Structures are given as structure tokens and as C-alpha cells.
Amino acid sequence: MINSYEGHDDSEVAVAAVRAGATVVRELYGRRLARIDKGAGDFATTADVEAEQAILDVIRAARPGDSVLGEEGGQQGSARAERQWLVDPLCGTLNYAVGTMAVAVNVALRGGAAAVADPFGNEVFFTDGATAWIRSEGADARLEPTAASGLVDVNLDPPFPHAGTFRAVDLLAHPGFAARFRPRVLSTTLALAWVAAGRRAAYVTDGGDLSGSVHFAAGIALCRAAGCVVTGIDGGPVGGPGGGLVAAADGVTHDQLMSLIRG
């Protein structure tokens, strides 16, 4: 059997994987889909499950010795595997379930390549771990972050583990925020890809250790490779005791947001 991925680097595998997932997401959009209750108001749909399976098929064909941690299927493959792929087949499930196209398909090799697909924008954002690109209509272009828009996406979805010291709603209500930025609430990590692409000035979310999250790993990798400033909400490393995430297009924007958060 010929391996159609022979000679492909990890970034191309990631691109192929998110494209496979995005195809499923588009094909099932608008249909009445079964829901799988996860508790606390969270759920998955048939589209989540089938998109993850399409992604797994690509990764297994291309990198059969690697393990996978999927949002829906959990850990698959050897626990002793040196390489692990993180898969979020449909980030923005609630948006999708009510007919909103603000969703993303995320695939990341831990510590390496990553890709994020916008299924309805027909765009793929990807990185080999060193540089970041957007592929649209068959052409690739380097991602160039900029804070010119002044738009900051703030995740308002629970849980809020640092509510005692940080609340996103308090950041939005700060007079200094309105003086410098304009808020957006997208409720999908597609917003992180938009920071890397210069369509957003920054992204802010509460949370625990997001460094190995299937939801955030691909977007974090994109932002870092594009040259963004990426930290926890305390300004320390992502995954540190501060938790959460602040991804900014540049150092000035990051400093301004950190000043507001600390204030």
C-alpha cells in the first residue's frame, strides 16, 4: 500500500488533517444533528465526532506511530509514543449547533507543527513551528500580526478558575479598555488564528493550564510562530501558575492589556 503522505512534513499533515475535518463540518452544517451531553451545559454533535474521525484517519495514515489526544475520543495510541497530536475537531460547537459559522478545526503536534481551519472561510492557518502561514485559494502568505484594528476577543465562557483575581467582564468594564480597544466575543479559538493574521489585536481568556489543551494548542503555536506575545493572564509563561491566556499582536498591546488586567 502506498503512503500518500510519504515525504510530507508535519505541517502538511496538519493541514491535510484540518481540511479533512473542515469538509465534514461543512457537509453536516444546517442538518438536525444528534447531541451528546457532556454535562454542565456542554455537548458534542455528530459533526464533532465525524470530523474527529476524519482527522484521525489522516494522522494514522501519515504518522502511524504517533498518539492522538482528541476532544471527543480522548487518548488514542501508545501512551509511550514520543509524539502526540492534539485534536479539537469543532471549536465552537454551540455556535455551529444554532447555525452560526464562527467555528474552527484545530490540530497540533505537541511542541511542533499546527493548523487551524476556518471551514466556512475556506482558509487554513498553519505553522511548521518556526514560521506561520495562511493558505487561501491555493496560495500561501506569511502571517503578519498587527494591533491596528484595536479589536480584542475576550472569552466569556466558563469556567472561571481565577475569578477571585481576574474576571473578563471586569476587563471589559475598565475605562482604560474602552479608551484603547474594542471588544469582540467570538466563542471559538478561531480568534487566536485571527490574532496571528492581524485581524485582531489580541485575545484574552481565563482558564487553567492551556499549554496542552486540544482547544488552544494550535492557536498558541500559530501566534508564537507569527511573532505574537503569548503569556498567561499573570504575564508569566502559558501553563504557569497564573493560568489563562493573553495573546497579543505586539509587545505594546500586551503591556497595555496586562496593565488593565493587573489594575
> Which positions of the chain have pLDDT values less than 70?
1-4, 6
pLDDT for 159: 83
pLDDT for 23: 98
Cβ pair 210, 244 in contact under 8 A: yes
pLDDT for 2: 46
pLDDT for 151: 98
In whole angstroms, what is the distance from residue 181 CA to residue 136 CA? Answer: 28
pLDDT for 227: 98
pLDDT in tens, 95-133: 999 999 999 999 999 999 999 999 999 999 999 999 999
Read off the DSSP letter of residue 144.
-
pLDDT for 90: 98
This prediction has a pTM of: 0.94
pLDDT for 110: 96
In whole angstroms, what is the distance from residue 108 CA to residue 11 CA? Answer: 9
Phi, psi for 231 (deg, rounded to 5): -145, 180
Phi, psi for 260 (deg, rounded to 5): -70, -40
pLDDT for 1: 38
In whole angstroms, what is the distance from residue 59 CA to residue 16 CA? Answer: 9
Q: Is 79 exposed, middle or buried (0-12, 13-18, 19+ CB in 10 A)?
A: exposed
pLDDT for 80: 82
